[in-house]
Amino acid sequence: MTVAAALFLVARNLPVRHGFTLRSGGVSEGKRATLDLGPAADAGADVHENRMRLARAAGLQADRLVLAEQVHGTAVVRARPGVLPEADALWTEGPEAWIGIRTADCVPVLLSSEDGARVAAVHSGWRGTVARIAETSVAALACEGTPPEALRAAIGPAIGACCYEVSEDLAGRFAGAFGAEVVRREGDRPRLDLRLAVRRTLVASGVPETHIEDVPGCNACDATRFFSHRRDRGGTGRHLAFIAPGLVS
């Protein structure tokens, strides 16, 4: 059997088309080599080609992808084709759109109702995590009729507790908000387990622990598979965490 090079990782627990992209398989060059899924607006020809490749690999239509202008805020917005909202989480239902959020260290979270009809994509950097954007997203889906216990969640690759050194001040804020376990203290400086903080936020929002899957990977450790804003000191490519409503039969 021949297996094509994978463009993205998937979670086993989501019933819909989705993925967390890797950095290989695209056409971008330099620090953004190769599968840069780029800025939401004013993307170059290489990023457009990368989006086409991703859409093909995922079995989705490239022109129905809706992105957001991410601002490290807490706005959760319904995706509208042709509209680029300022938001850090998008949700959608029906066939008109699929959605994605871009990361290069921040935590991507994908949510789907059990029936696959309603989905969300969430960008949770440290600011968004402190502001509990995952909880706001769960609440937004509940408003539309999907209760938290009927959600499936996947937390994708991000900068790991192995690499994410922060100030004592920020470590203290995280320990106070999410519990001492989200701070590691083996090295000189405290390091944050952002992924665990996001998981705890989802559980506190009512998503059952058993409905949350971790798709592992540390962006900073693994330069072959991932872009990392911190490791590459800016100018790096962006991953896309994407999800489309509709059960995969």
Q: Which residues bind Zn ion (CB under 5 A)?
A: 160, 162-163, 218, 220-221
Nearest distance in Å: CB 98, Zn ion: 30
Q: Give the Cβ contact number of residue 140 at 10 Å.
A: 19
Nearest distance in Å: CB 191, Zn ion: 9
Q: Give the Cβ contact number of residue 135 at 10 Å.
A: 19
Whether 178 contacts 157, CB under 8 Å: no
Nearest distance in Å: CB 221, Zn ion: 3
Indicate the residue among 85 and 160 with the shorter CB distance to Zn ion: 160
Nearest distance in Å: CB 249, Zn ion: 37
Indicate the residue among 118 and 195 with the shorter CB distance to Zn ion: 195
Indicate the residue among 182 and 218 with the shorter CB distance to Zn ion: 218
- What gap in Å lies between CA 194 and CA 198, rounded to an integer? 6
Indicate the residue among 131 and 163 with the shorter CB distance to Zn ion: 163
138 CB-near residues (< 8 Å, 6+ apart):
111, 148, 151, 202, 205, 206, 207
Nearest distance in Å: CB 196, Zn ion: 14
Nearest distance in Å: CB 160, Zn ion: 4
Indicate the residue among 55 and 192 with the shorter CB distance to Zn ion: 192
Indicate the residue among 153 and 158 with the shorter CB distance to Zn ion: 158
Q: Residue type at 27?
A: V
- What gap in Å lies between CA 152 and CA 145, rounded to an integer? 15
E strands, the chain, in order: 8-9, 16-21, 65-66, 76-78, 89-93, 98-103, 107-113, 118-124, 151-155, 183-184, 191-192, 212-214, 239-247
Whether the link from the prior residue into 34 is cis, omega within 30° of 0, is yes
Nearest to 202 by CA among 178, 218, 175: 178
Nearest distance in Å: CB 244, Zn ion: 30
Indicate the residue among 76 and 106 with the shorter CB distance to Zn ion: 106
User: β-strand 16-21 against 239-247: which pairing, if any?
Assistant: antiparallel
- What gap in Å lies between CA 13 and CA 210, rounded to an integer? 10
